[in-house]
Amino acid sequence: MGKRFRMSTALDVDDLLMECIPYAIRLANEKYKFDPPLTIYEVDRWGKLGTRADVIFEFFDDPEFFRTQPVMEGAKEFIRKLSKMTDVFISTSVIPKFMGIRAERIMQEFPDIPPEHIYMGTRKDKLNVDILFDDGMHNVVNSNAAYPILLRRPWNQNATGVLAVNNYDEFLKLVEVILSSYARVDEESKDTNIIALVGPSGSGKTEIARELIARSDRFEKLVSYTSKAPSKNEDGWYNFVSKPEFFEMMEQGLFFESTMYAGHGFGSKKADVDAILNRGKTVIAILDICGAMSLKTIYKDVSLVYVKRDKRSLLRSILEKDCPDEDKVSRIISIDDERQNEDLCDHAVRGDDPQKAAEEILTFLGIKE
């Protein structure tokens, strides 16, 4: 049986429902005629940076800025869809003198949200909701919501170990998965042509993927792209590119999913997935939960398999990795946050024994060797 009550979702406003930083950048370029123009990618973290991008803060003290903030493309339809799935609340950080303007704009632009569902203030950690959707990493990390979800933006690109999406469609798919996880009675095998292995670093995803591929030629690995330096045990699973090349590929829209992890870019191409499917193969992909949600947004027959392992084994595996200490720290920090992702997956296996895990996955999928 599923929950008898509707889940609740709290939404940020700035850069989630209404343009804020991109709008301030456009105003700054119009006023100061920057050459080259100021871009959103120069705002790579929140707060004053000691760069020319700091000029945008002058607009945040102008009431006209808040009266004229453009509504983000697709935001109204997004609210209508989400309102059918959960109760929707607004949680917005705005200084007191602009609260009236902000409330008026919200009521005017988003009439589907009841006025009594509008909350203002910076202490989003005090909100008692099931899901929080925000572009502020500090709000996501400190949230008491069961599922705090980050909207990827240049200023949070180094966020690690949190649920994150790139757009409204991915968020709605994630909410759908969350709701279905509460209603799921028991596991059933399913037809699938894409298997995504997710789980914390060191859980054994790569070893399980290799075991599946070794057992049957029906499986083919999805080779992703990364800007981090090659390390042992990853040969053949990544195309290694420079960071400028990675960002250029992002700009060209080549990735169906991309993320920054410990300062490194990771991304996968839809064209590569389609090529494997066109060869009549089953895709084996190793992704974080965000990439897995992107897959579910695009394709129907996707099975998410969570690979788990006890914390001591995870720590030992991470510490033994051939990677910089900073990378190891990021992986260790994310361990506890990764655990909640098991509830979002279709099946779970232990990574201690890759052969046994592969057998369990084949059984779950109804595949005979």
Q: Are residues 239 and 348 in the same domain?
A: yes
pLDDT digits (tens, 9 = 90+) for 96-142: 999 999 999 999 999 999 999 999 988 888 888 999 999 998 898 88
Q: Are residues 111 and 16 in the same domain?
A: yes
- Report residue 160 as tokens: 């690690």
In a domain, 187, yes or no: no
What pLDDT does 283 receive?
95
What pLDDT does 231 receive?
65
Domain end residue (candidates: 181, 214, 230) = 181
CATH number, domain of 91, equals 3.40.50.1000
In a domain, 121, yes or no: yes
Q: Are residues 114 and 258 in the same domain?
A: no
Q: Are residues 104 and 203 in the same domain?
A: no
pLDDT digits (tens, 9 = 90+) for 73-104: 999 999 999 999 999 999 999 999 999 999 99
pLDDT digits (tens, 9 = 90+) for 211-235: 999 998 899 999 999 988 776 555 6
CA dihedral 16, 83, 177, 179 (to 10 degrees): 130
What pLDDT does 1 receive?
39
What pLDDT does 344 receive?
84
Q: Determine the residue type at 253.
A: G
Between 330 and 258, the higher pLDDT residue: 258
Confidence of residue 161 (pLDDT cuts 50, 70, 90): low
Q: Are residues 281 and 358 in the same domain?
A: yes
In a domain, 165, yes or no: yes
In a domain, 358, yes or no: yes
pLDDT digits (tens, 9 = 90+) for 271-295: 999 999 999 999 999 988 888 888 8
Q: Are residues 57 and 15 in the same domain?
A: yes
Confidence of residue 66 (pLDDT cuts 50, 70, 90): very high
pTM here? 0.75
Domain end residue (candidates: 152, 181, 210) = 181
- Report residue 231 as tokens: 């390390």
In a domain, 189, yes or no: no
pLDDT digits (tens, 9 = 90+) for 298-325: 888 899 999 998 888 878 877 877 777 7
- Report residue 342 as tokens: 């098991």
CA distance 114 to 255: 37
Domain end residue (candidates: 181, 207, 228) = 181
Q: Are residues 12 and 121 in the same domain?
A: yes
In a domain, 228, yes or no: yes
Percentage with pLDDT > 90 across the chain = 51
CA distance 86 to 7: 5
In a domain, 232, yes or no: yes
CATH number, domain of 216, equals 3.40.50.300
pLDDT digits (tens, 9 = 90+) for 225-270: 998 877 655 567 889 999 889 988 988 889 988 877 666 788 999 9
Q: Residue 231 is part of which domain span?
A: 194-365
Q: Are residues 210 and 335 in the same domain?
A: yes
Confidence of residue 186 (pLDDT cuts 50, 70, 90): very low
Between 148 and 318, the higher pLDDT residue: 148
The pLDDT of residue 3 is above 60: no
Q: Are residues 211 and 336 in the same domain?
A: yes
Q: Are residues 102 and 200 in the same domain?
A: no
What pLDDT does 232 receive?
57
**Number of structural domains in the chain:** 2
Q: Are residues 177 and 198 in the same domain?
A: no
Average pLDDT over residues 194-217: 91
Q: Are residues 60 and 89 in the same domain?
A: yes
What pLDDT does 165 receive?
87
What pLDDT does 185 receive?
46
What pLDDT does 216 receive?
87
